[in-house]
Chains A and B, each alone.
Chain A
């Protein structure tokens, strides 16, 4: 039996960020991970550190996202200093491209709503028409009508970020155990014993950061975590000379020069394979926005399963039946990594979530069911 200050289940972006955050506080976490092949939403993450589309009608989410995006550069710098690994983070702002007047109009209304709901936080945006957008993104094609732009958006390499978080966790004395699928949990208030991969681990704090696995794990500690998979398919191109200076919601160019194309959503259960039809449609939209892509070769496609709550918001909660057990789940593992490391980790060790995160408790689903 090994004793720790906290057990974090799930070695993806969420779990690793929280575990690193705990280690950073000078405490001793252990991070339990599955094997080399598992759902692993993090490996399929697009890499946006995105604010502009988040939290319509939910100002708490807008604020939480914005806070993470604002601290990301610092977070990235810290990881670089500690591990020598760069996350590739850049924050040049971002655009959401519209291919019709109707789309652009809809986008404008959305941005305006976000602006109003932001209140004091002050959400600034611009609606750009073709000519102005072309100055920012010379490669856009004639079919592009315009876009919404905010300066709060950016992107990072999710895999480099993962690697940096892993290295930083170990540097701060954290423990990482792979091939350790959870077999059983013995739960008591502020005391948890986990049997995983043939070993036992004990700690007063438990964090469920296991993505789709949180549903089953949650049941063991009195947490209702209604997450389901939503598939996203992504295309990656060969390395190109720089051509996209700012990221868009559906496309971004990485530090290595490859272009990632995405943003599809499907309810396909746990099937993370790609389908030619969706890839075809993604390619169609991509070429329409950026005609130069026609002759660019793709090197890889993949499908990954987003971890989605019914309302698309994160789920943050401490178990009332077993205080000390927390769940931390979202579908924006990159964007929220900074806040998970810097703030959520602190809340976990403090044993209480602040009022600003109450909106993300699972009790919101009960309310809906009751209503």
Chain B
């Protein structure tokens, strides 16, 4: 095994990249492990190649995306070891990181581990959401940014949140017009008290209004819907919805779903970090101090994985957490760290202050969180439906997600609960009539990404023939 790094950063989105740049400045020996083939995470996906080969699209995607380019260049220029195409499958807080790269399993060691795996789309379990032709808005954006791919034929975007409007606008600018946008949530009144904080963060409001204007000008219908289902037998063919009390159907070839993003949390759970339930964002956050230190002394968390803060917020968190790691390793004094992070902390607070408005505005209503239709699939991998989950709680007193998992395999598939976990805990809480925080979450164990038996058999660790009869 190779030398022990000062810092291992998992993830190369804005948080990971900003952390790496700071860590290099503070002279920490740093390694960055990134699942993607190029830096940028999800928000700046494919940005280097895009800038190099399709710069016209760069303009169409908007100024926020272009900002990522600067950060990516700084990341590439910093003296850190960058391992792309690397899936981390286990992290021990004691310092070992197990990964897979180029079909070979490896281990490396670090004194501090900064996890920045970012966010993923909140699951949106509606009838028909597992049909081919249904993707997340994030997926739509990814193939647009990274591959210049756009949907053929008729398509709708359904759900709520800024990304819905942004993707619609980006596609429209490319000449690909959505057939309609179907909005499921818009909590104008709940959001209003938080407007001041929102206005404090430059640009958001203007951007949001700008997108709406753009879409209206392009003649794209935006409907507020109270019911929504995707129809089709072997692929998505149509969407049915209720708008202003009237039922309507639109034929489609593709559907993009989105109702916000949530922390991509399996890595944090597998480390047994303490979490708390955030009822506004309706997801679990790891408990962190002001610098991003988690409940385990060797681990820090930065970016959306610590709670949704957005791309700029993620950058600031990364920078701050790297500074904290440096202090903890004795590489820099506390005062110096304070100074270097002061501006970032102020800027981060501004970003954080802007969140509640958006979080409230787009906080999905209960029916989009806990599907009322019994046939709606909740666990996509194991095909467990909403009705079965409710029955287990109401008829068999199932108290929590781990019992649920053991009884009906909900959460036992390859995605390890990423797409069903939040739905399951919300449904159990609703059926039991208790807060979600009382219900808990799945117990997440390694490997958090696939690894083969062959990989495990050839792992460079001592054999335990005392424990296993060989």
Contacts and interface: CB of A to CB of B under 8 A. Distances in A.
B469 interface: yes
B304 to A, nearest CB: 26
B397 A176 contact: yes
Nearest to A297: B450
Contacts of B461: 276-277, 280
B454 A281 contact: no
A216 interface: no
Interface string B393-430: 00111111111001111001110100000000000000
A43 interface: yes
Interface in A252-281: 256, 261, 263-266, 273-281
Nearest to A170: B396
B453 A301 contact: no
Interface of A is mostly: mixed
A166 B468 contact: no
Contact of B464 (A170, A278, A293): A278
Interface of B is mostly: loop
A178 B397 contact: yes
A124 B463 CA distance: 35
B27 to A, nearest CB: 31
Contacts of B467: 233, 264-266, 278, 281
Contacts of A300: 412, 416, 445, 447
Contacts of B470: 99, 281, 284-285
Interface in A219-275: 233, 235, 237-238, 256, 261, 263-266, 273-275
Given A36-B440, A43-B402, A167-B396, A283 B457 contact: yes
B197 interface: no
A208 B405 CA distance: 25
A307 B440 CA distance: 26
Given A281-B468, A300-B416, A286 B397 contact: no
Contacts of A302: 445
A35 B397 CA distance: 11
A177 interface: yes
B273 to A, nearest CB: 14
B402 A295 contact: no
Contacts of A359: none
B277 interface: no
Contacts of A276: 90, 92, 96, 98, 456, 459, 461
A151 to B, nearest CB: 24
24 contacts: A36-B401, A36-B439, A36-B440, A37-B440, A43-B402, A167-B396, A176-B397, A179-B399, A277-B464, A281-B464, A281-B470, A283-B453, A283-B456, A295-B453, A295-B454, A296-B452, A298-B450, A298-B451, A298-B456, A299-B412, A299-B413, A299-B450, A300-B416, A301-B447
